[in-house]
Chain A
Amino acid sequence: MDLPTPRGPLSEALVAALRTDREFLGVLPLTTGHDTEDGALALWVLHQLHYRDLAGVPDDLEWDPQLIRIRTVLEHALESRLRARFSAPSGRTFTDDLLTWVDEQDGHSLATYVHRDATREQVLELVRVRSLYHLMESDPTAWVVPRLGVRAKAALMELQYDEYGAGDPNRLHHHLWARGMAACDLDPSYGVYADNAPFEVLEQNNAMTLFGLHRRLRGAALGHLAAFEATSSLPSRRMAQGLQRLGLPAELVDYYTEHVAADAVHEQLAVRTIVGGLLADEPGLEEQAWFGAFTCLDLEDRVARRMLTDWGVLERERVA
């Protein structure tokens, strides 16, 4: 993928050094006092080194000690921002109460807006920014597999097997998404629309990669997965109906229709067998599982608010 357009001095220096002299000593001091959006973009680029080719950047920089140092500083800042927003629900057990707790949260919903009101151009913009995640759907969670005990590992693979098409490349979820994009005449190559992604979307993607990459955060990764799956089935149906209302291509509708049935299964598995299996072996990770679940819903609410604000929807609702 091509490197995105920098958003401040830190991402500017990082992108320039990746492109030219590969001398990163001067980048590290810029990680203090940087603007959060600038830092989020820099971290997103550093995370991409672990997933794919960056045009003009040698592969071995993935494990460059100076880049890892910069990544660590930015990840600590991200984790502190996420932690500062979180408080664990009291008197609740993750495996018994997660689904009820999720139902009680009432964050802003892009699916509800797409269902009835969004314009075609707004939906296409949403597809562009969602592509940062959907084109690598489930990949951050795949990193968690070797860090788990027997039960949780088998359970996570049972879910991931379905996410990755159960052996059929045509059913692989991020490929279904790529086909949906292509049918809308959008470019499904990874990272093409990174410049369209607002800060909240970068933060959301960085949080998933942070949880996936660090063994220490495996509880948060699986808690995040459970909340993600638990907020997918009904919203996916609304998305599918909204896309049909606007006459958008069947391939994109298919992606959402697939998620209605798939995630009705996945939410149950994620809570009962995956997080259930994890906590049976490592009960001390319960608080972390809640942290992951909270972060998932909190970031989705912030992404929705940002998009609805940019479209003037929240402003109109306040006036009405």
Chain B
Amino acid sequence: MKGYEHPETIVCPGGPLLLRGRHVVTGRDGETHETTRPVTAVCRCDRSALFPWCDGTHKVLPERLRPS
């Protein structure tokens, strides 16, 4: 039987990067943050108030400021 794809990371066009499982992510000043949920959304637009996590802010940015 065929297996299914189950990637550890998923890039969401215009939005965050999803990370499955435990990871350590580096913030703006080099400080480290550990993921706490089964899946975590990491900000790619650089404007989240919860940086390095995504807080949905990418949705209110003009198209050109959204990550590709």
A161 within 8 A of B: yes
Please tell me the size bucket of the interface on B. 20 to 34
Total of A-B residue pairs, C-beta within 8 Å:
61
Write out the residue numbers on chain B whose beta carbons fall within 8 Å of the beta carbon of A237. Answer: 49, 55-56
Q: Decide yes or no: A260 and B40 within 8 Å by CB, A150-B4, A237-B49, A268-B10 being known contacts.
A: no
A186 to B41: give the CA distance in the assembly, Å. 33
Min distance, Cβ A243 to any Cβ of chain B, angstroms: 16
A22 within 8 A of B: no
A93 to B31: give the CA distance in the assembly, Å. 40
A249 to B49: give the CA distance in the assembly, Å. 22
Q: Decide yes or no: A265 and B18 within 8 Å by CB, A158-B38, A166-B37, A234-B60 being known contacts.
A: yes
Give me 27 A-to-B residue pairs in the complex whose CB atoms sit less than 8 angstroms apart, sorted by A's number.
A99-B59, A103-B59, A154-B4, A154-B6, A162-B37, A166-B37, A233-B56, A234-B56, A237-B56, A260-B50, A260-B55, A260-B56, A261-B50, A264-B41, A264-B53, A264-B54, A264-B55, A265-B37, A265-B39, A265-B41, A267-B56, A268-B10, A268-B12, A268-B41, A269-B39, A272-B10, A272-B12
List residues of chain B with CB under 8 Å of any chain A CB: 4, 6, 10, 12, 15-16, 18, 37-41, 49-50, 53-57, 59-60
